[in-house]
Amino acid sequence: MRKRAITIVSIFFVLITLCNNYTHAESGYDLWLRYNRITDNSIFKDYTEKNKAVSFPTSSDRLEAAKQELQRGLNGLLGLDIKEITTLENNSLVVGTPTSSSIIANLPFVNEIKGLDDEGYIIRSCKIDGKSTIVVAAKQDIGIVYGIFNYLKLMQTHQSLKDLAIKEEPKLQYRVLDHWDNLNGTIERGYAGYTLWDWARLPRYKDPRYIDYARTNASIGINGAVLNNVNANAKSLRTEWLVRAAGLADAFRPYGIRVYLTARFSAPKEIGGLDTADPADPRVRQWWKDKVAEIYSIIPDFGGFLVKANSEGQPGPQDYGRTHADGANMMAEALEPYGGIVFWRAFVYHNERHIDRVTNGYNEFKPLDGDFNKNVFVQPKNGPIDFQPREPFHPLFGAMPKTALALEFQITQENLGHSGHLVYLGALFEETLQSDTYANGKGSTVSKVLQNYKKTHGISGIAGVPNIGTDMNWTGHLFGQANWHAFGRLAWNPDLTSKEMSEEWIRMTFSNEKDVIKTVQDIMLLSREAVVNYEMPLGLNHIMNYDTHNGPEPWHDDPVWTAFDYHKITKDSIGVDRTKSGSNAVGQYHEPLSSQFNDLKTCPEKFLLWFHRLPWDYKLSSGKTLWNGIVDHYYQGVNEVRQMESMWNSLEGKIDKDRFEHTKSLLKLQEGEAMWWRDGCLLFFQKYSNLPIPSEYEQPEHSLEYYQKIPFPYDWNKTKFFKQ
């Protein structure tokens, strides 16, 4: 009997141990909001002293959400519960607006607080009644939400709480995630599971994950979410679906997030009973006004519409001989009385072989500059093709001074290895935003162009297509979280650097240890250039698999779409002539860029084959031929992935086991797929160039025919590509 008792006790303790291990396992669910206990004793004591008493009166859902976040953070980081005070104590924390807090209302710098942007905040060390105090203050309640997240971030990243003098206001007004989520639960170009939105149980049941989604977005300043795919389903505008969307709006509202919907242009015909969707038809215009009035009766703070029209088969105003401006303005007029916005996408192109797709968006929208209403954004992608690993910035930026433009980034890695590849997009985002358009002379960066619309048009904005799904870690690849984080941080401040954003994310996600920070940051800052090298060296682009957009397919050729339009390969040369003697895409850029891109002597080599068609023996700046340069880049890309693997493996024991093994296994997958890109592309190009891959390089293991078995090599389970 005693033996049995001992056995039961032993089993009990084993189960407790297993439960504890499971509880403390790092799944990645907490993203960068990991409020783990601070173990550095000196820092811990200083932070504890600064937070020993809190004055934080709440009078709204937003203030209550901010207070709950502060409690969550202080409890996790310091083991503290908020000690409420009514009379100031030394080393206290005071939080509020001039309306919510009498202490804030009587501060000597209260006028500075009242002069903040509605979303801005101040975090300041000061003395009140002779007592040392930290103040988190804002003009409006939402500013307190943002301020509390920043205050907690200071502790998460081990920053000093002494002599604080932080004043933050967003540099862009509309900071929106464009979810490509379908009403059936799937996500177009989603690689992290299914949609978060549980439409079947909305609006009554609100999944707690909605709150975590909203918290996460608020922590980086995102203030809007388009709920449905740009390839829209008209029924999302029906009453029963609007009521469901209202459930999400209710969950997001305390965190300052407004919901938007993608509107299908043909909705008046599909669900409205009309025989036309012509924007010049008074019945159609009235239908949109009535529909918008209904939406605002259900969702009072509705943000507006995102529209994809006359692109990739989507209906639009051109179906009726009208312009993009005619269609956008019809919707804008319906939304204007309620403060709503239209985001009208500029991603349009014709599947016609004689037209260079790079030039389409500019040619369609540039002539319409000044024709759009003040509450309309024209929304181009960051580059003129389609979310490639590297593109020159879209020439519409700086070319439409009379129209507000909102830049669209892709966070989900549609053409960058999906959620299988570690690719830090902060570098891509930064490169685009800091590109000089020369629209108003030197220094007119894309970032400044976007920010200037607030002064000239009263609105400014940016959008990102997210990589978020139902996977436990939200983004499929753990490092995909860093791209969500980077987008939000740049939406708030487009002039941040990828280096400073990556360090912030690493400190909050992994560790404040210097060696961990340096190693992980080195991996992140290497990763984007690696994928450029093994997918599109020297400006080659859009040669991915036609169906999956994953893996190489430069050989794809059919009447609908051909990769040959993007590389123009022959036995003599490769690349697309977009100079003044070609499609003249260079002519869409301001000087001196137009001439710089046009001239082989000044065109940056990273865009060489984007703008120029060149012979295989063309000499690069390195002195090597074009062929050998292409080969070098492909092999360099694979080697860089191997460097990333080696660096990550050096962190074993310094990163928790679950997240370490997750990343390690995906880096191995990435190495195999980088080799697939390298070998498949080089063998295809070699078929035309008839030039050898230098013998010092490892030679492709398989034939070109092998790699042409799409979407994966046909006996992939037997190859080294996918061996662990």
Residues marked as catalytic: 312, 386, 414
Q: How far is CA 160 from the centre of its chain?
A: 29
Nearest to 633 by CA among 701, 539, 554, 521: 539
Distance CA 291, CA 235 (A): 12
Query: Are β-strands 258-262 and 304-307 bridged in parallel, bridged antiparallel, or unpaired?
Result: parallel
Distance in angstroms (rounded) separating the CA atoms of residues 412 and 191: 8
Q: How far apart are the first and last CA of the chain?
A: 48
Question: 41-50 vs 61-78: helix axis angle to the nearest 10?
Answer: 150
**Dist. CA 72–CA 83, nearest whole Å:** 13
CB-facing half-sphere around the CA of 635: CA atoms within 13 A: 14
| Spatial CA neighbour of 464 closest among 495, 429, 434, 430 | 429
C-alpha dist (Å) from residue 273 to 266, 327, 333: 11, 19, 21
Distance CA 247, CA 130 (A): 47
User: In 3D, which of 381, 375, 302 has the Cα closest to residue 345?
Assistant: 381
With tokens 């499929």, the residue in question is 476
Task: Kindly provide the residue ranges of all beta strands, DSSP E only, lying in 227-335, ordered along the sequence.
Answer: 258-262, 304-307
For the record, the structure tokens of 275 come out as: 């025989």
The count of residues in the chain is 724
Rg (C-alpha) for the chain, rounded Å, is: 27
Instruction: Give the integer Cα–Cα distance in Å for 672 and 680.
Output: 12
Q: DSSP letters along 180-194, please? A: -B-TTS-BTT--SSS
CB-based contact 553:684 (threshold 8 Å): no
- Residue 31 vs residues 27, 276, 479: alpha-carbon distances, Å: 9, 47, 10
User: Token digits for 219?
Assistant: 């922590």
**At 225, which helix (H) or strand (E)?**
strand 224-226
Name the residue among 198, 215, 218 with its Cα closest to residue 206. 198
SS3 416: coil
From CA 609, how far away is CA 520, in angstroms rounded?
32
Cα(449)–Cα(438) distance, integer angstroms: 10
Measured between alpha carbons, how far is residue 693 from residues 87, 624, 628, 681, 685 in Å?
77, 13, 8, 12, 11
Is residue 597 a contact partner of residue 588, using CB atoms and an 8 Å limit? no
Structure letter (DSSP) for residue 559: S
Query: Residue 184, Cβ neighbours under 10 Å: how many?
Result: 9
Q: How far apart are CA 583 and CA 566, in angstroms?
A: 13
Count of beta carbons in the 10 Å neighbourhood of residue 251: 21
Residues 6+ apart with CB under 8 A from 58: 64, 66, 67, 100
Rounded to 5 degrees, what are φ and ψ at 523? -60, -50
The SS3 assignment for 679 reads helix
**Which amino acid type is present at position 287?**
W
Pairing relation of β-strands 461-465 and 406-410? parallel
User: How many angstroms separate the CA atoms of 540 and 574, rounded?
Assistant: 9
| 249, two tokens | 């709006």
Q: Smallest Cα–Cα separation from 295: which of 255, 335, 251, 256?
A: 335
